[in-house]
Amino acid sequence: MNNYIRLTYASTTTSKPATIRQDLVAILNEAQMHNSNHDIYGVLFYGNNYFFQCIEGKKLEIDSLYEKLLKDTRHKEIVLLSYEPINKLRFMGWNMKYVLQEPAILEFFESNHWEKFNPYALDEDLIDPFLNILSSHNESTPGEREEVMAPEAVRGNVLNYRYAVFVIIIALLMLVGIYLFSSFGGAASIQGMTVQ
């Protein structure tokens, strides 16, 4: 018998959209360094302001990491989803694999009647299929800012962009108006002078 444990939990980020990317990079660096020294393996998924993490390793190591995770203020509403003894490490080779929102993952949630990724919705029947998707999926890096930005932030950017386009169009219309007014208004006053 081995004493490996697989623990999964859901949590919500406390990071602001502007800092989530750098926070993710810092979390992954800490995780990969600590985990490789303590034979801990797993996967971290971030999307829609939520984290889903699976950690696997020796019971003592997993328990002590989970204690630290519970105290980490970079996330909140931490809910333990599963804690089970295992025979085989599913994420062996990844001290902390990182996966971003991908069509296969969104489809998985949609097919289970959830519009968006929501790790709190993962009951014990869904955790295993979800881990299968994550383990077969390519690893991501917290690269492009948009990739990791919260949907609100992306929406905010779209709104700012639309606002800028709107202001430019109004400014152009005003310039055209001034031009037309000065051309026709000027011509009319010249005509008026001629008539007089």
116 is an interface residue for ligand FMN by CB under 6 A: no
Closest separation in Å from C-beta 34 to ligand FMN: 3
The residues facing 8 across adjacent strands are: 54, 82
Query: Least CB distance from residue 23 to ligand FMN, whole Å?
Result: 8
Q: How far is the CB of 101 from ligand FMN (least distance, A)?
A: 15
Share in percent of the chain as helix, strand, coil (round to 5): 55, 20, 25
**How many residues in total does the chain contain?**
196
Calculated CA dihedral for residues 96, 56, 150, 107, nearest 10 degrees: 110
Q: Which residue lies nearer to ligand FMN by CB, 35 or 49?
A: 35
The residue (of 56 and 109) whose beta carbon lies closer to ligand FMN is 56
Among the candidate windows 50-58, 129-137, 146-154, 160-168, which touches ligand FMN by CB under 6 A? 50-58
Strand 97-100 with 41-47, pairing:
parallel
Crossing angle (nearest 10°) for helices 124-136 and 103-111: 160
What would the x/- binding string for ligand FMN be over residues 53 to 82, using CB under 6 A?
x-x---------x--xx--x-xx-------
Restricted to residues 148-177, the positions that interact with ligand FMN (CB under 6 A) are none
- 51 is an interface residue for ligand FMN by CB under 6 A: yes
Q: Is 39 left (phi over 0), alpha (psi -120 to 50) or beta?
A: left
How many residues at the interface with ligand FMN, by CB under 6 A? 16
Task: Tell me which amino acid residue 35 is.
Answer: N
Give the contact letters, 9-48, x = binds to ligand FMN (CB under 6 A), - = no: ------------------x--xx--xx--------x----
Residue with tokens 């949590």, as numbered in its chain: 11
| 121: Cβ contacts below 8 Å, ≥ 6 apart | 109, 112, 114
- Look at residues 50, 47, 43 and name the one whose alpha carbon lies nearest to residue 8: 43
Q: What does DSSP assign to residue 88? A: S
Least distance to ligand FMN, CB of residue 135, Å: 16
| Chain residues that interact with ligand FMN, rule: CB under 6 A | 27, 30-31, 34-35, 44, 51, 53, 55, 65, 68-69, 72, 74-75, 96
